[in-house]
Amino acid sequence: MAPSSAPPASAQTLAQHWLQQVDRFAGAGKAATRQKDLGIWQTFTWDDEYAQVRDFCLGLQALGLQPGDRVAIIGDNDREYLWGALAMMAAGATVVGIFTDVTPREVEFVVAHSDAAFVLAGDQEQCDKLLAVQAALPLVKRVIYWNDRGMWHYADHPWLMAFADVQALGREQAGDADAAFRVGIAAGRAEDIAMFCYTSGTTGLPKGAMITHANFVYEAEAFAEIDPRSAEDNFLSFIPMAWIGGAALDIGPHTTHGVILNFAESPETVQQNIREIAPDGLLYNSRLWENLVSTIQVRMLDASWINRRLYEWLLPAGYRAADARLAGKSLSLPRKFLYEIGKRTVFSPLLSQFGLHQARAAYTAGAALSPDVVRFFLALGLPLRQIYGSTEVTGGALAHRAAAIKFESVGEPLPGGAKVKISAEGEILLGGPGLFAGYHKNPEATSESLHIDAAGERWFRTGDAGHIDGDGHLIYLDRLKDMIGLGSGERYSPQYIEGRLKFSPYISHAMTLGDEEKGFVTALVTIDFDNVGRWAEKRGLAYTTYTDLAQKPEVVQLIRQDVEKVNAVLPPAARVRRFVLMHKEFDADEGEMTRTRKLRRGFLSDRYTDIITALYDGSPTVHIHATVAYQDGRVATVDTVLPIETLEI
């Protein structure tokens, strides 16, 4: 029997837990991390990882890193990202995560606001962003890069230094450096700040949420109680570790339970690498799960006649089996036999194509996932579960259990002390061991976000609306400020409508609008360019650009049919009366979405005032003249007329 992976109570920090895993597997040749490089999976043992982390930590200290300092990291998930983060924590420093697709000005804000002493950058692209704002970052001693491709131009730049050179500096330290490294780790305390996670900034500038080691350790142990973990488990790390969900489900289990972290060769090869690893656990954000549903649906539309007929015939059997499992009921022998046929001939092969056939636990986090998507994957046999929380509660406060999944809920409180309650105003409040320490340099925002009850207990104000059902499950509705007042006097969730719309393989995003003053619900809809493009090509429909494709009458009719399907399951007052297909995708670089792909509703409402006005004044079309900024700096002008569709209710 494998030794227990449960960490002893004496370990307080992630670095201390990690060191226990190192000592547990010392000399055993046990894999700690893997990364695909030049087409070959490279394995690094716990001994290898220990040397990498120790040398980098000692090198940083030789450069002047002190306990309590902050070190920012911007780069794709790589072994060096993990080793760098562990080295910082081992030195008593705080990791500051930055998303890779931010602009130089956004990098400047986070690095300056966090008072970072060093920055760890993945590649030339990220170094260029930092060099562009170097004058505004006087506290940064060095920018350390780990991918040296294209960096030969900067060989003599005094501000830049290679990851390997920092490690070499660490190996040069005199005395018993190994003992000093371990003493530094032992000095850590549970209440120390492990990481600054900057919030998505849906209502203004991002805020630096301070997450303690105790927060991270609690989350790892709570999820391990729901889904037992071992040092034999494989997890593919690709969700950005700058996001709290990525950090909590990557670094946490790796340090506390020895889970093997696998890193993709590049962001473009993630799906292929998942198929190769077939991980035991997987975290996708809601948009990735929605994309996967769209991909499966489109593949089946393009499949051979016999495969398409098998899928259409057997998928209902999968739905019946999933519903029966969740209701604690048994299938009749004929239905069980039909499900087994589906599992062997359709469901398992489908999941295998995406590397999901071995997943014991698949999670979704971020924006709420449509019940249709959850039910679809359960029908295929994948135990997909919702996680509900926020950065301020270390990512997760509630989650589904395998035997207690409710499509309409986001789960129950995590074991070990997570708490949820509903305020008198209907707001979801979260508490427990995952609750953050506050916002860096922002006591006003900290005070506003925390509610202290009569017993002196702290609760995080989520800003979300919801209620708790009779089984203790949380039913998430929407952001409080986004709830729609319907003509009937009821309130309804635009996110619920949008989630249903995005179940269509041809819709990428939708923003619904409406209130009692406007009188009815309308929607701004963006098409999934790849899926609609394939649909058009299959029918010989020629097009040039996204704008051209979206305005084709045939495409408008295609989307209209899917909107009508959603309307059929909504109460009359909440049905979409009018919609428009947008001339472009919503774009995070233009401020229309956050970096975690949540819609910035206020910004969108202001930006597309003319379109929204046309939706409500009965206009059959709306003229658009706009500039579109691309990530590479190019700017294009769009001049077109968008047709507005009116639906019968």
What is residue 2's predicted lDDT score, i.e. its pLDDT? 37
Question: In the predicted model, is pLDDT for residue 633 greater than 90?
Answer: no
pLDDT the model gives residue 235: 93
Token duo for residue 429: 């409040």
| Range in 235-249, 337-351, 583-597 the model is least confident about | 583-597
At residue 202, the pLDDT reads 54
**The CATH number of domain 483-646, selected from 3.30.300.30, 1.25.40.10, 3.40.50.300, 1.10.1060.10:** 3.30.300.30
User: Domain segments of the chain: what residues?
Assistant: 14-259, 281-357+359-388, 412-481, 483-646
CB atoms closer than 10 angstroms to residue 371:
17
Alpha carbon dihedral 11, 17, 20, 26, in 10-degree steps, equals: -170
pLDDT (tens digit per residue) in 356-394: 999 988 898 877 777 788 889 999 999 898 899 999 999
Average pLDDT of the chain?
90
Is this model's pTM higher than 0.85 or not? no
CATH of 412-481, one of 3.40.640.10, 1.20.1250.20, 2.30.38.10, 2.130.10.10: 2.30.38.10
User: Which stretch of DSSP H or E encloses residue 443?
Assistant: helix 443-449
pLDDT at 625 over 80: yes
| pLDDT for residue 267 | 82
Q: Is 561 exposed, middle or buried (0-12, 13-18, 19+ CB in 10 A)?
A: exposed
pLDDT of residue 391: 93
pLDDT in tens, 208-248: 999 999 999 999 999 999 999 999 999 999 889 998 988 99
What would the pLDDT profile of 173-217 be if each residue is shown by its tens digit? 878 889 999 999 999 999 999 999 998 655 568 899 999 999 999
Minimum mean pLDDT range among 26-35, 97-106, 262-271: 262-271
100-135 confidence digits (pLDDT tens): 989 999 999 999 999 999 999 999 999 999 999 999
Average pLDDT, integer, range 145-158:
89
pLDDT in tens, 538-562: 899 999 989 999 999 999 999 999 9
The answer to whether the CB of 270 falls within 8 A of the CB of 77 is no
> Distance between CA atoms of 271 and 42, rounded to whole angstroms?
18
What gap in Å lies between CA 202 and CA 603, rounded to an integer?
A: 9
What pLDDT digit, counting tens, does each position of 520-532 carry? 899 999 999 988 9
Q: What is the CATH number of domain 14-259?
A: 3.40.50.12780
Dig out the tokens for 100 from the structure: 């890779």
Q: pLDDT confidence of 488, banded at 50, 70, 90?
A: low
Tell me what pLDDT residue 6 has: 43
* 380 close to 318: Cβ distance less than 8 angstroms: yes
